[in-house]
């Protein structure tokens, strides 16, 4: 009988080309629920704005961070970059000011040296230590976000129910497809999460309907409201499930997490079904190619 493989983290990327749409906040909420449920979570901060780093590591002065993973030719043990936070189930790989130099903007600058595979390689050494690994991306397609997609099982696209809210998502989907075809066939879109939703504003309801019409079942049922409680939790740098455990906001965070898990469950069942059908039809298995250098 084959040996049971050790449990492996689910790796999720939060990505959109727009800033301020709640990419970092999604990671913050999911980590908050991990802490509450005693699930081990690692967040990799890939955005030079360093919001996750500042929230979880307020006294961070360490000169080393995620850029070490991307240094050409670097053969680094990613464990040395992992920082413990005040929350015993949440670790962070921080970003530092040095990352600007490494977060290249053009594929030709990273493809030759296959720098986009570096993050997948590094995380492959950490996946058995965590239940979830969350990758917080900058608001653009660059080496950091491309490498995040190469290293991930799932992508979450947060967006606002507003004019221009869905703009840029076509580019994100095109890049996801490119990564699926060339680098990481395991990658799946987990869904669009409508964030900062202002229920009392009528026009937001009509934008929400447009988003649901365009993206169908890919849109999460859970809406993240624009809420002062969320803002306070970020200001106080205390994850919402600990900051205000019985608040509506904390319940939303748990609902979001549960929906992620049930979508992951469905995605895995589909994946197993596809593999089984492929085996039965005699077609060759599709293997990930990115983490091989
Ligand atoms: N649902 C929400 N309710 C209130 N404030 C929010 C919410 N989501 C995000 N914010 C705040 O909005 C700002 C932008 O969110 P953030 O997650 O940093 O966006 P991004 O990472 O996409 O740039 C932050 O100050 C964050 O605290
Ligand atoms: Mg951010």
Q: Which of 23-27, 233-237, 277-281 has the lowest mean pLDDT?
A: 277-281
CB 226 less than 6 A from any atom of ligand 1: yes
Query: From the CA of 22, which ligand is nearest?
Result: 1
Asked whether residue 162 carries a pLDDT value surpassing 60, the answer given is yes
Ligand 1, atom 20, lies closest to the CA of: 20
What the chain holds in terms of domains, given with CATH numbers, is 10-281 (3.40.50.300)
Farthest CA pair distance, the chain: 59
21 CA from centroid of ligand 1 (Å) = 6
Give the distance (Å) from ligand 2 centre to CA of residue 37. 24
pLDDT at 6: 64
**Residue closest by Cα to atom 14 of ligand 1:** 20
The H or E element containing residue 81 is none
Report whether pLDDT(183) > 60: yes
pLDDT of residue 2: 47
Global confidence as pTM: 0.93
Q: Which band of pLDDT confidence, cut at 50, 70 and 90, is reported for residue 5?
A: low
Instruction: Give the pLDDT band of residue 272 (cuts 50, 70, 90).
Output: confident
**Whole-number pLDDT of residue 143:** 95
**Tokens 């809210």 correspond to what residue?**
165
Quick one: pLDDT at residue 125? 96
Flag whether pLDDT at 116 surpasses 90. yes
Asked if pLDDT for residue 291 goes beyond 50, the answer is no
**At 203, is the pLDDT very low, low, confident or very high (cuts 50, 70, 90)?**
confident
3-state secondary structure of 111: helix
Tell whether ligand 1 has an atom less than 6 A from the beta carbon of residue 50. no
Residue among 91, 20, 90, 58 at smallest CA distance from 242? 90
- pLDDT attached to residue 284: 60
CA distance 3 to 103: 39
CB neighbours of residue 67 within 10 Å? 22
Burial category of 1 from C-beta neighbours within 10 Å (exposed 0-12, middle 13-18, buried 19 and up): exposed
CA 139 to centroid of ligand 2, rounded, Å:
7
pLDDT reported for residue 286: 53
267, exposed or middle or buried, with CB in 10 Å at 0-12, 13-18, 19+?
middle
Q: How far is the CA of 217 from the centre of ligand 1 (A)?
A: 24
């Amino acid at each position: 009988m084959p040996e049971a493989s050790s449990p492996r983290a689910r790796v999720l990327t939060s990505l959109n080309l727009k800033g301020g749409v709640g990419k970092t906040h999604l990671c913050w909420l999911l980590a908050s629920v991990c802490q509450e449920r005693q699930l081990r979570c690692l967040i990799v901060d890939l955005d030079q704005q360093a919001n996750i780093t500042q929230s979880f590591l307020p006294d961070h002065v360490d000169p080393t961070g995620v850029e070490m993973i991307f240094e050409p030719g670097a053969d680094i043990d990613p464990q040395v970059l992992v920082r413990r936070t005040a929350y015993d189930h949440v670790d962070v790989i921080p970003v530092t000011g040095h990352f600007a130099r490494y977060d290249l903007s053009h594929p030709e600058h990273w493809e030759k040296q296959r720098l986009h595979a570096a993050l997948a390689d590094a995380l492959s050494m950490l996946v058995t230590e965590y239940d979830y690994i969350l990758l917080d991306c900058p608001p653009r397609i660059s080496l950091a976000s491309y490498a995040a997609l190469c290293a991930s099982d799932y992508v979450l696209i947060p967006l606002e129910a507003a004019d221009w809210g869905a703009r840029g998502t076509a580019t994100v989907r095109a890049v996801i497809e490119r990564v699926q075809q060339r680098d990481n066939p395991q990658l799946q879109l987990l869904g669009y999460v409508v964030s900062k939703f202002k229920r009392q504003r009528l026009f937001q309801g009509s934008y929400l309907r447009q988003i649901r019409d365009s993206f169908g079942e890919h849109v999460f049922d859970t809406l993240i409201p624009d809420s002062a409680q969320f803002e306070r939790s970020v200001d106080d740098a205390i994850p919402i499930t600990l900051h205000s455990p019985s608040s509506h906001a904390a319940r939303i965070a748990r609902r979001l997490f549960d929906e992620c898990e049930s979508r992951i469950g469905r995605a895995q069942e589909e994946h197993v079904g596809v593999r089984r059908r492929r085996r039965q039809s005699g077609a060759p298995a599709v293997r990930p190619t990115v983490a091989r250098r």
